[in-house]
Structure 1
């Protein structure tokens, strides 16, 4: 029933990318079993200047900002997101990892200079994002990482967010907006807003790296050179059956998240973190050996699975509601033209299992993001599924993939689709769970 990722990371092509989908003892990050009272988090969509290339002027950008660079919460936390829109365009807040009213359906747009309070719930642990890019393709806006901690103990020495973003820069240093042509623009990738940062780790330290693809359209693979023991622990915020990533590489569609555990070896030279985007590998960051002594005499044994988020172990495919969703057609509309009165792409009753065939009949690779429900990627014969949950999937041109999910949340939710090129428009439909 289960299979493993087996893509090689050496010379990864676009096709391969899309097909892949401080103590002697370890620090135990124990989280409270119950969340605190309801909290408020201030969010601000605002302009900023970021030096993307050393020696050049800072580039003007837009950012979704909070008091801290990462919003970190206990599982079960109820919160009010107090959002001020400093953009010159309307804003709609979407999330991967938090439950909140569906943008453009149950959540109204926030006009320029406006402010709104949006309720949210950290119902499941995992790595996620808060994002304003749904209506903001006319500017380059940076998302905000979110971590919802497990209630149970997870034993790691370091916990590092790795937000990867891409920028297209004109000669004058200004950033080209996604969804527009970027001819002759310079392509640049950053990690947490930095170019090729160094991360110092003690020998035999167990590190949780939370890779987040914050790129606008690009499907990417991240490989740690000379380190094959990269254990995948969670994908798209949901615990996975742990497995070793082939050659230390993981593949992420835009918006995708993968949590991996590594044990820092006694490396004499820095370990290069490389990004593959279908062309040549690019240096992204470096893991260097810290000057302090090793944390322990030998690496820890392989990690066990992360605590369950309560998703079902099995899905009954025999009695599932079956539907097909083609990724082309006039029903798909850009966000500015989206209408909640349009025909839904799918309707199902709450509590039912849904098998959805996603068909890409276009001539370009496409990415699909299903709001509201995490899903399993089915095997080609419909006789099982991969050992992880997803919320985003990349499909090659002409490809059909089947996914299955439990329709656990009632309401109306968006489906996003876009080609994997910078200038491609973001397109929307919606579905309903009754």
Structure 2
């Protein structure tokens, strides 16, 4: 039986952390390389982090790290993850951006029951699309994501991408004070506006890191916004960088330009031509530094730009036969009166505010679509705040906007700007009841979510 080098190394890493009880252990050591499967055991459990030097933060983590273990498989393979809940609260895992069967989508009381403390759940699905994705709970989301329950999922292309080097960068701000104690994950005044921001920025759980990259090489940077709230205005002054994929889906390579707005839940695959050894670049959010990229001498010959990534097998919507549906994303703070029973509702879609505590809410979908039907959604933001609009279970094509020029592309999350109207289109080819919501978490939890049924 022939093993790949990666299988052997991964198996040894698993043995090195003292067996299955340590969490995050890959238990596929010994599988033949022609079996299209990667298996993981993923444990959610408390973990103390030193986010502020000298102080402990009582985080929650996947596989003993926050952000969680980077899961990887190849396009078209079956991903099998045994998820074990060692927290004291119920939780689930949603696989953000993956087109999968409803029962694997991780939404409590819609696709599965919550995984209770001490229980486990086996997630098992094919990964049809290559790209950068991530995973997180869909239960008590503001707290659970806020405490650290986020992690990257990388689906590699079937054939070599042409990138010899890559790094995954998870962007997250932490809701903590100067002593590392958690502050409120959702503040009503902020939830009714842009969302509740964290105080301490981080990349892969480290504030203001220095990331070492090989000089002269073209490195693929997989940037994943796992934040509850913040839209990052990413920029790399003085760098040669090109965009290769948006939210997991390839695009024709083009320069990064001045900046790119990456909303919560969104991903950006950049190719960076690393400058001469000893050079430092600043990865920034607007004017604020997020990380220093430092080039180190490399014995390899200088790399060249790889070719465009192959397109994912997403059905092309036929606009000539598509039915048009309209969705207004509205501010509705008047619904949140002091005498209101249940959760606050500051936001609504087409006059309907989602009740995060109503287990039957998904039984009243905002729209019912015909399976394999072609649809255009007109998304209208009637507020002064941005909304990254995310659709579960399917991939849509962004067509155009009344606020900016759009080169049409496929995605699962679109950053709808203030007072913007945009059109998206897709083929409703995945039956089920799918969540359609803003990925600013406390917007979602205060009304800005709906169910879309495909039958």
- TM-score (ref. length: structure 2): 0.78
Higher relative contact order (CA 8 A, sep 6+): 1
Please state how far the C-alpha of 1:315 moved relative to its aligned partner: 3.0
| RMSD, matched Cα | 2.9
For the pair 1:431 / 2:436, whether they are aligned, the reply is no
Summarize deviations over 1:384-418 as a string: whole Å, max 9, x none: 96242121122233322211112121222111225
Q: Render the CA deviation track for 1:257-307: whole Å, top value 9, x for unaligned.
A: 11111111226531111123xxxx2211111121344x32x551x432101
Q: Structure 1: any 5+ residue segments left out of the alignment?
A: 1-33
On the 8 A contact 2:84/2:118 being kept in 1, the answer is: yes
How many residues align? The count is: 389
Compute the displacement of 1:336 (Å): 2.7
Q: Higher mean Cα deviation, 142-151 or 319-328?
A: 319-328
Task: Give the match for residue 238 of structure 1.
Answer: 249
TM-score by length of 1: 0.81
Asked whether 1:166 is paired with 2:158, we answer no
Return closer, same or farther for 1:422/1:354 CA change in 2, 3 Å cut-off: closer
Change (3 A) 1:363 1:65: same
C-alpha distance after superposition, 1:30-88 (max 9, x if no partner) = xxxx972555321222111111123x312111123379821011112223321122333
- Normalized per residue, the structure richer in helix is 2
What corresponds to 1:57 in structure 2? 55
Q: 1:250 is matched with which residue?
A: 260
* CA distance in 1: counterparts of 2:447 and 2:361, whole angstroms: 16
2:205 pairs with 1:193: yes
Q: Structure 2: which 5+ residue stretches go unaligned?
A: 1-32, 191-195, 331-347
DSSP 3-state at the match of 1:156: coil
Match of 2:391 in 1: 370
**1:410 corresponding residue in structure 2:** 431
Counterparts in 2 of 1:290-305, with a 5 A limit?
A: 290-293=296-299, 295-296=300-301, 298-300=302-304, 302-305=305-308
- Report 1:6-405 matches (<5 A): 36-54=35-53, 56-65=54-63, 69-98=69-98, 99-100=100-101, 101-102=104-105, 103-104=107-108, 105-139=110-144, 140-142=146-148, 143-180=150-187, 187-227=199-239, 229-247=240-258, 249-266=259-276, 268-276=278-286, 281-293=287-299, 295-296=300-301, 298-300=302-304, 302-312=305-315, 314-328=316-330, 329=348, 331-380=352-401, 386-405=407-426
- Cα pair 2:142 2:442 within 8 Å, conserved: no
Comparing 193-202 with 333-342, greater Cα deviation is found at 333-342
Is contact 1:240-1:305 (8 Å) kept? yes
